Amino acid sequence: MSEETGDFAGRVVLVTGGGSGIGRAIAEAFLAEGARVAVCGRREEPLHALVEPHGERALALRCDVSAPGEPAAAVAATLARFGALDVLVNNAGTFALGPLEETDDETLTRIFAVNVLGLLAACRAATPHLAARQGAIVNVGSVVSQQVIGGSVAYAGSKAAVDQITRCLAAELGPRGVRVNCVAPGNTETPMAEPLLADPQARAATEARTALGRIGQPADIAPAVLYLARDPWVTGQVLQSSGGLIL
Ligand SMILES: NC(=O)c1ccc[n+]([C@@H]2O[C@H](COP(=O)([O-])OP(=O)(O)OC[C@H]3O[C@@H](n4cnc5c(N)ncnc54)[C@H](OP(=O)(O)O)[C@@H]3O)[C@@H](O)[C@H]2O)c1
């Protein structure tokens, strides 16, 4: 596929947390389908490494989605460069494991500020521009919103909020022609999941629980995101992309 012939030729996509892991694979998949893509995150080097081969078609934006005003600034910079916004992918996320009693205020605040408040702020800033193009939001949730996994109360709570935000916002923005969906990955081999997958026994247990018998790779998640960005009649849905981790 190319800039002229891909499914997303002429479309503009903003991927938060696009410098690594799942976000990077999502950005690369949109670029492969002809989109113009802005990626944002706090560290500039991985963002620049991603956009560099794509010239004018890709844009790196430094942005902390948990900082007031920064998601809106990333949306504005995308508009300034590309003139429109068709798809917002809220992928930036942060993670911590541990019982609630051992989770300090700083960790609780970080998890909800990034995974929930940053996502809401990005959606709010993008809304008028997505409405102008009959565009779409794809949130990145997690299977932990649908299954109780020990020690994940704060993270799982934040991802359950993402599921319900997806449904509520789909209802709110549907009349304006904007679709809102969520992809819920299972365990995926990224820097975030490294501590979970480093233990060979835990890794083998996850593989055994997964219908397709292996740990997901970032590129496994991207097709579900592109599908939900593309489909004109699906909205308010949470789509598990996990190789059948929860059946
Ligand atoms: N890996 C899994 O097993 C798994 C499973 C289910 C769901 N997920 C979800 O998938 C998404 C991507 O995670 P990943 O696994 O690909 O992990 P990752 O490689 O650590 O990616 C997370 C990305 O989010 C960015 N980010 C973190 N805090 C940010 C902030 N305050 N502002 C802007 N960007 C921020 C990071 O960039 P900077 O550090 O440069 O800001 C990084 O690029 C997350 O929402 C995660 O919850 C992952």
Instruction: Find the CATH number of the domain harbouring 200.
Output: 3.40.50.720
| pLDDT for position 5 | 84
197 is a domain residue? yes
16 found inside a domain: yes
Classify residue 2: in a domain, yes or no: no
Confirm or reject: Cβ of 119 under 6 Å from ligand 1. no
Domain that residue 182 falls in: 12-235
- Regarding the beta carbon of 187 and ligand 1, being less than 6 Å apart is answered yes
7 in a domain, yes or no?
Answer: no
What pLDDT score was predicted for residue 1?
54
Q: Is any ligand 1 atom within 6 A of the Cβ of residue 17?
A: yes
Whether the CB of 23 sits within 6 Å of ligand 1:
yes
User: Cα of 92 to ligand 1 centre, how many Å?
Assistant: 5
Q: Is residue 6 part of a domain?
A: no
Ligand 1 pocket, residue 140 CB under 6 Å: yes
Q: Is the whole model's pTM more than 0.95, yes or no?
A: yes
Distance 140 CA to ligand 1 centre (A): 9
- CA nearest neighbour of 61 among 4, 125, 136, 140: 125
pLDDT value for 168: 99
Distance 218 CA to ligand 1 centre (A): 11
Atom of ligand 1 nearest to the CA of 114: 31
Amino acid, single-letter form, for residue 40: C
**Does residue 244 belong to any structural domain of this protein?**
no
87 is a domain residue: yes
Does the C-beta of 206 come closer than 6 Å to ligand 1? no
Atom of ligand 1 at shortest distance to CA of 90? 45
The distance of Cα 134 from the centroid of its chain, to the nearest Å, equals: 20
Domains of the chain: total:
1
Tell me if 114 CB under 6 Å of ligand 1: yes
- Residue numbers in the chain where pLDDT is lower than 50: none
Which pLDDT score, from 0 to 100, does residue 2 have? 58
User: Does residue 4 form part of some domain?
Assistant: no
